[in-house]
Chains A and B, each alone.
Chain A
Amino acid sequence: MKKSTRKLINTIVAEVILITIALIVSLPLFLAVSISFQSPEEVFSYPPKILPKGLYLKNYVDAFNLVPLARLILNSTIMAIAITAGKLTTGLLSGYAYANFRFKGREVSFALLFATLFLPAETVMIVPLFLIMKKFGWINTYWALTIPFMASATNTFLFRQHFRSIPKELEDAARIDGATPMQYFSKILLPLSKAMIGGAAIINFVYAWNMYLWPLIVTMEDKMKTVQIGVRMLISSESANNWGVIMAGTIVVLIPTVAVFLLLQNLFVRSLVRSGMKG
């Protein structure tokens, strides 16, 4: 077989497999959108419908009435933005410390931070963390939802790595011009790190928006719960199992992260890979 013919066949085979995979992977999401616009009769019709007859918007109205979805969205937004801002701030500052300064205790403190890299405190240590929240009187507050997650080894490493890649000559030049270390940080390092900060912000936001176990145990009142718990509430409160309403709520909850992801996919992917790889 000629090389070009073989290449063509390969391309066609790859296309077919990729289309199949892409369809299978995106099918759950596609069907969820479709179901969210179907009336109860359509949802329960047999065989199940692929496309809705029209746009049955009552599902969305019902989802907002069945659980306090608007309030939950507000809570999740506050939580995700606060965690993102916190992680970026602590990460930038400590990343700068490790990248640009030599000081006593540098190695020891770095090792202490490193040791927490694979420790998801919001799951492994829910019991003691919960007891500590009780001591602080933080149960059912935004504090409990945000403060414990405002620092992470991942963010520190990401920014340390990035700052180390910036030529040392810049720092020397700034110093000769009379800039203080903090001026160099805010006037030169930060503007040079915009893409990095943006990428890390998206990753942190998605992480926080999607948290589940911690908000589940640390909030008792409905008005303090988050959207992820709201989805669970929709399933259990919708006694007739009206999947149209459940899917409407689900779509509302997943739109922010999926939209951000699709809009900023390249930045997202680049930062994600960098957060995982050393060197």
Chain B
Amino acid sequence: MIPYVLLVPTFAIIVIFIYWPAVYSFKMSFYRISPFGNRMIYTGLRNFGRLFQSSEYIHSIKVTAIYVGFSVLLTVFTAFFIALLLNLKVPGTPVYKALIFIPYAISPAISGTLWTFLLNPVVGHVNYFLSKTFGISVDWLTSKPYALYALILASVWKVVPFDTIFYLAGIQDVPDDLLEAATLDGASSWTKTWRIVFPLLSPITFYLVIMNIISFMFSSFAIIDVMTSGGPGDYTTTMIYRLYLDAFSFQKTGIASAESVILFGIMAVVTFVYFYFGERKVHYQ
């Protein structure tokens, strides 16, 4: 009896607040709410059909792919590079570590706020610096394609520490002589780093890529909401932002449920990939 009792609290929550909503959104995605909101009309797959014919939704898929793709790449490589440097344990490393890790504890909403200020065309320091040094003056958050760059910048800044923490922990297990030869030692060591050290850490990279995809697809909502609100126009409206708008600004419950199901499907694929390929890789680590 005991183990079942121990599991009750966990499964009560998981079933009511994850499994039930999941099933519920599947069901809702096949319905349309009548104009007066009092009746549910079965429409089959029409919600999905309308989504994939809507240029807005197709646009949000493209933006999500570009935003997530670039952010993941930048984050993983920056974090790996920083971890290599921190691992040299040069004097002062504890201080650098503390400073570099801080954004992990800062929320996406605040990351968005900080960068909104820094990129502000009138009072922002980054903008001032760029216009003084390179003569560039840009309305970062309100013009294409800079709004997207600004989002990527704020998102990468927030997530790099997470990846660095994992790489740094992973590097400890790489034999010292390999690392010694690897860092900052001319061209051949550069090759060694990428041919030997990076592949050794591939299970970590794999895990991080998955975690980062989740961060950039979902947690980044706050960054987008604070910095661009999906604009200019719908230029930076990602899939999660589209879902939010359709559900809570336009009250299109059926369509929004279909969007939920699509995101759900993407996460199912990600989870499957993780367990299918992850299981094997983790074993020999």
* Interface residues of A, Cβ cutoff 8 Å to B: 6, 10-11, 13-15, 17-19, 21-23, 25-29, 31-32, 35, 43-44, 46-48, 50, 86, 89-91, 93-94, 96-97, 101, 103, 106, 109, 112-121, 123-132, 147-151, 153, 156, 181-182, 206, 209-210, 212-213, 216-217, 228-229, 231-232, 235, 241, 243, 246-247, 250, 253-254, 257-258, 260-262, 265, 269, 272-273, 276-279
Query: Do the beta carbons of B219 and A181 come within 8 Å of each other?
Result: no
Which of A86, A181, A210, A243 is packed against the most chain B CB atoms within 10 Å? Answer: A210
In the assembled complex, the Cα of A122 lies from the Cα of B91 at a distance in Å of 42
In the assembled complex, the Cα of A121 lies from the Cα of B24 at a distance in Å of 13
Smallest CB gap from A150: residue in B: B13
Smallest CB gap from A214: residue in B: B221
- Would you list 18 pairs from A and B whose C-beta atoms are within 8 A, ordered by A residue? A29-B103, A31-B114, A44-B122, A97-B6, A101-B2, A106-B3, A124-B264, A150-B13, A212-B225, A213-B222, A235-B116, A246-B113, A250-B110, A250-B113, A261-B101, A272-B162, A277-B282, A278-B282
Type the 1/0 row for B203-215, where 1 means its CB is closer than 8 Å to any CB of A. Answer: 0000100110010
In the assembled complex, the Cα of A47 lies from the Cα of B165 at a distance in Å of 36
Question: Is there a chain A Cβ closer than 8 Å to B240's Cβ?
Answer: yes
Smallest CB gap from B271: residue in A: A118
Query: Do the beta carbons of A43 and B123 come within 8 Å of each other?
Result: yes
Question: Is there a chain A Cβ closer than 8 Å to B95's Cβ?
Answer: yes
Query: Do the beta carbons of A232 and B270 come within 8 Å of each other?
Result: no
Query: Do the beta carbons of B267 and A118 come within 8 Å of each other?
Result: yes
Whole-angstrom distance between the Cβ of A260 and the nearest chain B Cβ:
7
Q: A25 and B102 in contact (CB under 8 A), knowing A14-B88, A94-B10?
A: yes
Query: Do the beta carbons of B270 and A128 come within 8 Å of each other?
Result: no
Count B-side interface residues using an 8 Å CB cutoff: 96
In the assembled complex, the Cα of A28 lies from the Cα of B117 at a distance in Å of 9
In the assembled complex, the Cα of A176 lies from the Cα of B249 at a distance in Å of 63
Type the 1/0 row for B103-118, where 1 means its CB is closer than 8 Å to any CB of A. Answer: 1111111110111111
Question: Is there a chain A Cβ closer than 8 Å to B190's Cβ?
Answer: no
Whole-angstrom distance between the Cβ of A47 and the nearest chain B Cβ:
6
- Looking at the complex, which one of B14, B110, B256 makes contact with A127 (CB distance below 8 Å)? B256
In the assembled complex, the Cα of A269 lies from the Cα of B185 at a distance in Å of 29
Q: A109 and B90 in contact (CB under 8 A), knowing A22-B99, A246-B113, A254-B110?
A: no
